[in-house]
Structure 1
Amino acid sequence: MNLKKINLLSLVLGLVFLFSTLKLYSQEKPKLTLGGALRFNYNLSSWKEGQKKRGGDFGYDMFRVNANASYKKINLNAEYRLYSDSFGGGMLKQGWVGYQFNEKDEIQIGLTQVPFGIQRYNSHNWFFNLTYYVGLEDDHDMGVKFIHKGKRWEYHLAFFKNAEELNFGNNSPISPSRYSYDIAGIQKEINQFNGKIRYHFGDSIQQKAGASLQYGGIYNTETKEVGSHHALAIHYELLYKNWLLKAQATTAKHNPKSNPSNNSISMAAYGGSYEVANNFNIYSLAIAKDIPIELGPISNIRLYNDFAFMDKYEKSFTNSYMNVFGLMLTTGQVYTYVDYAAGYNHSWLGGNYVDDFAQGNPDAKWEARFNINIGYYF
C-alpha cells in the first residue's frame, strides 16, 4: 500500500471518528425548554357589596416560569409561581428530578404531584373542584414516586416524607405560602404512602377506571405525638368524540393526637389557613364538551359543568357544595376561562372563610362569583 492510499485511509477513518464523536456528543447534549404563563383576572362576587357597586375588579393573577430539562435518561421539571403578597407571593408549585428507565417506567424525586384521584385535575374549570380545597386534588409533596404506564394498566407508588417544607426549625409550623392545601397549624403531614391504579379500556369510547389510596402520619409540634390520616377514592373518566366526563367518590379521615374532641383540622395555602372537617366524603361529577370552531382567532370552545358535594361525618356540621358552570376559549396560546362559580358553605365562595369546610352555617345562602381568567401560556 503506497503512501497516498495510507493518507487517504487515515483521512477517511479520521472523518468517521470525528463524525461519530460529534453525533455521540449531540446525542448526549443536555436539553432545556423554558416556558411560563401570565394571567389576569376579573371577578364579581355576590357577597361583596362594595365590589358589586364598582362593577367588579380586574387585576393581576399570576406569573409563572416553567423549566423542563433532560440529559440521557435524567429529567427535570420545575414550576415557580408569583402571586400577589395577599395570595402567598412566590412559591414553588413543583420541582423534581426523574429517571426514565424505559418508555413505561419512571421515578421522580422532589416536590412532585401526589398520585391520588383523577389527574391532572378532577375538574375542567379555573376553580378546580371541592377535592382541591381539602388537599386531595393537584397536591404536591416532598418525596419519591414510581410511575408505570402500560397500554392498559397504569400504576403509581409513592412515599412522601412531608409536604413542602420551607422552615427547617425544630418545631416550626408550615408556611401558608404554598400552591396546594396541606395540614397546617401545630400539625404536620409526615411519612405518607400513596398507591394508585388505573385501567384504560375502550376504543371509540375511551375510558379509565381506577382507585387511589393514601395513608400517612400527622405530627403534633407541641405534644410530639403522631396521629394519622387516610383517604380512599374510586374514579372514572370517559372520552367520547368531543365529550368528557369525570366522576369520583372520595372518603377521608384525620385522626390527630392533640385534641380528640376537636372535629376539624387546619389546612393552609395561598397565604392563609382555614378549618376542614376531620372526616368527610366528597362526591364529584364533571362533564364537558369541546366545540371546534373557526371564529377569528378562536379555535375551540369547551363548555363544562363541574359539581361536588362534601358530606361531613360530624352531625352538627353543615355540608358543603360547589358547582361551576362555564366555558374555556382557546385562542392560540391564550386560554380564557369564563366561570359562574356557586358555593354553599364554601370558604372561597362567600360565607365564613374560617370554618365553612368544617362546622359551616345551616343558615348560609348560596353565593356566587362571576370570574374571567385570561392567560397567555408560552
Structure 2
Amino acid sequence: MLWLLLHDESSLLGRGAVSREVRELYFRWYVTLTHGGFPADDPMWQYPPGAGPVLLSPALLSSSPLSPPLPSLTYFGAFVALTLAADALVAIALACAGKLPGRSLHGATLWIAGLPLLLHIPLARYDVQVTALGVFALLALSRSTRACGAFAAAGALVKVWPALTLLGTPRGRTTREAWTAAAVSAGALLLVLALAFEHPFSFLRQQGARGVQIESLGGTALAFARRAGWPGEVRYQFGAMEFTGPYVSTVAALSLMLTAAAFGLLLLWRLRARRWTEATPYDAALCAVLLFTVTSRVISPQYMVWLLGLAAVCLTSRHTTQRPVAALLTAAAGVSALAYPVLYAQVTACTWTGCLVMLVRNGLLAAAAVLSFRQLWRSTGA
C-alpha cells in the first residue's frame, strides 16, 4: 500500500488523484482550522466538527502547526504515518479480541489481508481513524458499556456512522448505560469544539445540495440510462463526480426514501428481536452501516474501509451470522479498487466497461445488505 502511494502519479493509479485529497484539500482545511475556525464557506466541507481534530492531528508530529513536522515529513507524510498507526491499533485490538476464549482470529486476518484490496486509498483518507473508533466501541462493549458509548460518540462526531454501533446493544441496563454515555460524551465533545472553533455546524448547510455520485446505486442506474440515450452529464461538484440533468433529483429523493425505509427496518428489528448473543451487537452494527451505505446518494470507495472494519469485528466472534456477508464485502472491496482508481476514467465516461464494473461492485453490496439483514433477523428471532 505504501509503495502504491509513492507511485500514485502512475496513469494506472489515477495520476495522483488518490493522494491529492490529502495534499491539497485536507491541507487547505488544516490551515483554516489552525486559525480557529471550520471552513464555513467551502462547499466541500461536509463533515461533523469532530473531523477537525483528526485533520489537525498531523501537527502532533510537528513543532509548529504550519511547518512540516520533520524536514522529510510533510503534512501528507505525517497524515499517512498517523493513519498507519490507527491501522496498527485496529489490527492489535482485533487480534487481542480474537485470542479471548471462544473467539477467533479471523477478524484480524480479514482486516490485515482485506484492507490492501483497496490499494492505497485507505492511507490517503481519514476513514481508517473513524473505523478505529467504531471498532473500539464494539470491542469495548463486553468490558465497559460507558467506554463503548464514549467511543461511539467520538466516532459519530467525526463521521456520523459510528453512532450505529450502538444499535445492537442488549436491551435494559446495557443499552441505557451505553446510550447515556454516548449522549454525555457527545455533548461534552461538542461543547469543547464549539468553544475551540468558530462555525462548528457549518457542515450542515452543505448536505442538502449533494447530488447522485456516479458510484452509488442510483448513479449506476443513471450510467446505464446514459448508455440508453439519457442526456445527463457527469460533473465534479461537492468533492465528488456526480450526475446532473433530468431526473437526477428524483433519483436522489428515491435514495433518501430508501434510507428512511432502511431505518424503519432496523427499528422494527430492534423492537422485535428476542435473542441476543455476544455477536449480535457486532452483526447489527455491520447490517445498519451496510444498509445506510447501499441506500446512500454517495458511495465513495473509502466507505469500504468502514465495512471491512465492522465485518472484521463480526468475525472475532464464533457466533456471528455475518460470515457470508464478510465474503461478499471482501469481493466488493477488490472490485471497488478496480473502479477507483484503476478504471475510473471508464466509470466517469459511463462506458460499458465502467458501467459493468459498477454493476458488479454495487450488486455485491446490495446482495450483502439483503443477506446481512436476513441473517440478523433470523438469528435474533425477530
TM-score range, shorter chain: under 0.3
- Higher relative contact order, structure no. (Cα contacts within 8 Å, ≥ 6 residues apart): 2
Q: Which has the larger radius of gyration?
A: 1
Which structure: greater helix fraction? 2
Which structure: greater strand fraction? 1
